Amino acid sequence: MAFTLAIIGRPNVGKSTLFNRLVGRRVALVDDQPGVTRDRREGQGHLFDLEFTVIDTAGLDDVNDDSLEARMRRQTELAVRDADAVIMMIDARAGVTPLDQYFGDWLRRGEVPVLLAANKAEGIAGEAGRLDAYSLGLGEPIALSAEHGLGLDELYEFLNPLFPEAEEPEEEEEEFGLEEDRGPLQLAVVGRPNVGKSTLINKLLGEERLLTGPEAGITRDSISVDWDFKGRPIRLVDTAGLRRRSRVEDKVERLSIADTKRSIDYAQVVVLVLDAGLGLEKQDLTIARQVEEEGRALVIAVNKWDACEDRQGTMRAIRDRLQRSFPQTRGIPVVPISAREGRGLPRLLDAVMAAYEVWNKRLSTGLLNRWLEDVASAHPPPAPGGRRIRMKYITQARTRPPTFAISCSNPTDLPDSYLRYLENALREDFDMPGTPIRMHLKKPK
């Protein structure tokens, strides 16, 4: 799911002990692909403020014809394929064994970040084994005691930077002042039928308020629901297709453009839900374009991630398609989720809030004008017919979305490509990924 950590190592080094420690009591046995993942466990792990999926590759003592190496190899391959990070665990008291060596070699050739952990390192008995582990060529081994909870700080330090959304960069108050009290964040969830919108909303609201599934039944008649996330009030506004769920033909009804438009109109941030199995298709792009045209902040949720077989490929295809279709709006957040299992939702909401902040961003005139001087001297505007176009100054006319006015000697002569250059530079330099940006040119009075 969101972030996945795999624990790798030969039997008995303490993988399950660490797994249990990270997952706590919320252990879930995952066994939905018989024969393939039969002997692996997955659970939701926590380490301080980090939440992630943990895969434990224990259970190798199943009766099986394969050699231990072959089974471990298969396990490891599967786990590593799904993982964003790997803990390679050895038993510090036993030192490095040939089997450790074998897996060390294999992991070293991969691309996933690996943390080498010498477990059972409480007391002094493990120090020699820990030092021995340097020989695996996987960097500095940390001293871990899964049983006693030692070394978790180092595990945290390894994991924390790998999480995509670290903290927001610090902003200077007066230069990047945000507007004060803005009321609840108005959120809409849109997407084609059956991608999992109702399931997502139910999960977000934490109760079965909306009906999901194919049966007819009760729906809410009000058009907004308030709740909050991390103390931030959020208002879920009228959501396309939900209100008419009581009619069976809705399931076959094609995407209602009018409903979607209505939701977008009411919203500030729009979550476009995709089905990971279907990817980003034409209809989705149509909705995304609508969001962009209306100047709303867009976040893409790739749902049914639990059922997605080729996660990397799916993500890549979606990103590529977005990049091609929205070359101007770089950095639209794409968050994998499983609405049904409630996974990835905090990350989705974090992305929603971050998108909202960018959408609200206000840049001071002083800062903008210094910036304009820089970019214009780095790459001056053209001089059609020998007369250079002069850009006098720039201000931010509005937020939501960020809208800028540039006063310019002869606006009609400034090529679109140059405006795009300015827009891209502005987006990059002031860290405004994903949000639509508007630029207007005015003739000075």
Looking at the Cβ atoms of 45 and 401, the one nearer to ligand GDP is 45
Question: Using CB under 6 A, which of the segments 26-34, 145-153, 226-234, 327-335 binds ligand GDP?
Answer: 145-153
Owner of token pair 């797994």:
19
- By the rule CB under 6 A, 14 interacts with ligand GDP: yes
Beta strands in 57-157 (DSSP E): 85-91, 114-119, 142-143
Pick one of 340, 390, 398, 440: the residue that binds ligand GDP (CB under 6 A).
Answer: 340
Looking at the Cβ atoms of 194 and 403, the one nearer to ligand GDP is 194
Amino acid at 222: S
- By the rule CB under 6 A, 15 interacts with ligand GDP: yes
Owner of token pair 């090529």:
415
Per-residue buried b or exposed e for 206-234, using 16+ beta carbons within 10 Å of the residue's own CB: eeeebbbeeeeeeeeeeeebeeebeeeeb
Question: Using CB under 6 A, which of the segments 40-48, 172-180, 313-321, 337-345 binds ligand GDP?
Answer: 337-345
| Helix (H) or strand (E) segment spanning residue 20 | helix 15-23
What is the token pair recorded at 305? 């991630």
Output DSSP code: residue 360: T
- By the rule CB under 6 A, 248 interacts with ligand GDP: no
Are 50 and 159 in contact by the 8 Å Cβ rule? The answer is yes
198 is in an annotated binding site: yes
Judged by CB under 6 A, the chain residues 304 through 323 that form the site for ligand GDP are 304, 306-307
Pattern 112-131, ligand GDP, x by CB under 6 A: -------xx-x---------
| Helix (H) or strand (E) segment spanning residue 374 | helix 365-378
369 is in an annotated binding site: no
What is the C-alpha R_g of the chain?
26
- By the rule CB under 6 A, 219 interacts with ligand GDP: no
Looking at the Cβ atoms of 155 and 339, the one nearer to ligand GDP is 339
CB of 407 to ligand GDP, least distance (A): 46
What is the token pair recorded at 378? 């780095």
Question: Using CB under 6 A, which of the segments 190-198, 292-300, 345-353, 392-400 binds ligand GDP?
Answer: 190-198
Question: Using CB under 6 A, which of the segments 8-16, 46-54, 286-294, 372-380 binds ligand GDP?
Answer: 8-16
366 is in an annotated binding site: no
Question: Using CB under 6 A, which of the segments 44-52, 109-117, 303-311, 358-366 binds ligand GDP?
Answer: 303-311
Tell me the CA distances in angstroms from 75 to 80, 88, 136, 168, one per residue in order.
8, 13, 20, 37
Are 209 and 240 in contact by the 8 Å Cβ rule? The answer is no
Query: Cα(326)–Cα(300) distance, rounded to whole angstroms?
Result: 13
177 is in an annotated binding site: no
305 is in an annotated binding site: yes
Pick one of 195, 271, 414, 426: the residue that binds ligand GDP (CB under 6 A).
Answer: 195
**β-bridge partners, 441:** 406
| Helix (H) or strand (E) segment spanning residue 144 | none
Are 242 and 218 in contact by the 8 Å Cβ rule? The answer is no
16 is in an annotated binding site: yes
- By the rule CB under 6 A, 13 interacts with ligand GDP: yes
- List binding-site positions: 9-16, 56-60, 119-122, 191-198, 238-242, 303-306
Binding site for ligand GDP (CB under 6 A): 9, 11-17, 58, 119-120, 122, 145-148, 191, 193-199, 212-213, 303-304, 306-307, 338-340
